[in-house]
């Protein structure tokens, strides 16, 4: 049904306009209590797929990547559709409009997207205010929310650490984890900050600001991760992994969009990323060892793609582009399949140990090695 709707309607709309219209419908549905309750009950995966990571229990391993909900305006509606968690952003210290449109293009033959959005968002003050209101409710506190932060375009590279720290101070009290995004291709010079020499002071300043903010709010320290590009060389991936271990960070989000194309400005997401994303996650897991969290993202369109990321070492996984091409029940299908995998593994484990079978619950990571 969704494929037909996409072909007949959404495909002929401007991509950014279609995104806005669809997101508005999701938010509207979430405001109707009966509809919200029914959809959540129908689309939420069983507890068998729950994952314990970053100090929280994630209801399911597959979440929504940053970029869809930049301003934290629809987290409840997105969770209603079966995402295990939602990463909002990218948020910058100051509000900014992003790049001039057109800035989002479909690559329908590959089920991919190209974007040069440029961190368009309302800024960290507005987003912090919205998250504070959300977290003031019991339902809002139950949601698992990551916050992705980036550099304000007008901020010089020399002042990047202070810029990230400002956002972290404002947003950390409301985040289950923070992601330092230094890998978008759509802010001039941003990817240069992935070099270890530039990245170290940014991560140190961000963590210090986040820790001070959470301590003042009476909250535990928020886990800090860094998001990297697929276009880094293997040696640079290793260098970032070593820095994560050196600083004791919580982990890495891998990967962002790629500039390895000849289609014009912007980064490509979706299936063209999958092979490199899997390679980077596998390399990170080998380099980092078993403990740091790796959130795998890039080209996940089906349960099989999700299983591949988990099998090579991802702790959690994310997607975005598949939402555009596969429709509103896409996340639910993936998380339900992973929960079924986890339940089957748990049942097999109890059977082999002579323990009676029953409903599988708890901290099972689907595809764990």
3-state DSSP assignment of residue 118: coil
Catalytic residue among 124, 183, 184, 332: 184
What phi and psi, each to the nearest 5 degrees, are found at residue 88? -90, 165
Please give the pLDDT value at position 363: 42
Condensed to tens digits (0 to 9), the pLDDT of residues 138-176 reads 999 999 999 999 999 999 999 999 999 999 999 999 999
Q: Are 48 and 346 in contact (CB under 8 A)?
A: yes
Q: How far, in Å, are 19, 53, 309 from residue 57 at the CA level?
A: 30, 6, 20
Model-level pTM greater than 0.85? yes
Q: How far apart are CA 201 and CA 157, in angstroms?
A: 12
Helix (H, G, I), strand (E, B) or coil at 96: strand
In contact, 174 and 213? CB cutoff 8 Å: no
Residues whose CB falls within 8 Å of the CB of residue 236, separated by 6 or more in sequence, listed in order = 194, 195
Which residue has tokens 């490509």?
268
Query: What pLDDT, on the 0 to 100 scale, is given for residue 352?
Result: 81
Q: What is the pLDDT of residues 319-369, one digit of tens each?
A: 999 999 999 999 999 999 999 999 999 898 888 877 554 433 334 344 333
Contact (CB, 8 A) for 147 and 173: no
Contact (CB, 8 A) for 152 and 193: no
**Dist CA 47 CA 59 (whole Å):** 7
Distance, in Å, from the CA atom of 230 to the CA atom of 176, rounded to the nearest integer, reads 25
CA dihedral for 76, 79, 80, 81, sign (positive or negative): positive
List per-block mean pLDDT (blocks of 10 residues) for the chain, which spans 369 residues: 82 94 96 95 96 98 98 98 98 98 97 98 98 97 98 97 98 98 93 94 98 98 98 97 98 98 96 98 98 98 98 98 96 98 91 59 39
pLDDT of residue 59: 98
184 catalytically annotated: yes
Using the Cα atoms of residue 271, residue 241, residue 201 and residue 214 in order, give the sign of their dihedral. Answer: positive
């Amino acid at each position: 049904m969704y494929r037909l709707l996409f072909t007949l309607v959404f495909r002929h709309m401007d991509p950014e306009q279609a995104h806005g219209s669809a997101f508005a419908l999701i938010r509207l549905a979430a405001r109707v209590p009966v509809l919200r309750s029914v959809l959540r009950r129908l689309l939420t995966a069983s507890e068998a797929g729950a994952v314990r990571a970053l100090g929280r229990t994630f209801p399911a391993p597959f979440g929504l990547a940053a970029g869809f909900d930049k301003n934290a305006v629809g987290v409840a509606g997105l969770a209603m559709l079966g995402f295990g968690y939602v990463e909002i952003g990218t948020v910058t210290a100051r509000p900014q409009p992003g790049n001039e449109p057109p800035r989002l293009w479909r690559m329908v033959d590959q089920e991919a997207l190209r974007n040069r959005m440029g961190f368009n968002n309302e800024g960290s003050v507005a987003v912090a205010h919205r998250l504070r209101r959300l977290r003031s409710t019991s339902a809002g506190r139950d949601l698992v929310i990551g916050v992705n932060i980036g550099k304000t375009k007008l901020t010089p590279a020399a002042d990047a650490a202070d810029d990230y720290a400002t956002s972290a101070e404002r947003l950390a009290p409301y985040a289950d984890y923070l992601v330092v995004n230094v890998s978008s291709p759509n802010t001039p010079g941003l990817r240069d900050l992935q070099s270890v020499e530039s990245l170290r002071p940014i991560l140190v300043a961000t963590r210090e600001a986040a820790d001070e903010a959470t301590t003042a709010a009476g909250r535990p320290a928020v886990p800090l991760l860094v998001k990297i590009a697929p276009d880094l060389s293997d040696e640079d991936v290793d260098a970032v992994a070593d820095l994560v271990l050196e600083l004791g960070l919580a982990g890495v989000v891998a990967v962002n969009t790629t500039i390895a194309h000849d289609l014009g400005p912007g980064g490509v997401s979706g299936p063209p990323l999958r092979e490199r994303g899997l390679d980077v996650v596998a390399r990170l897991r080998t380099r980092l060892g078993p403990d740091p969290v790796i959130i795998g993202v890039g080209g996940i369109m089906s349960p099989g793609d999700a299983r591949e990321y988990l099998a090579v070492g991802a702790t959690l996984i994310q997607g975005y582009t598949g939402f555009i091409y596969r429709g509103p029940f896409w996340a639910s299908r993936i998380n339900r399949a992973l929960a079924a995998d986890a339940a089957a593994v748990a049942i097999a484990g109890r059977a082999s140990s002579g323990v009676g079978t029953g409903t599988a619950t708890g901290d099972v990571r689907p595809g764990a090695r």
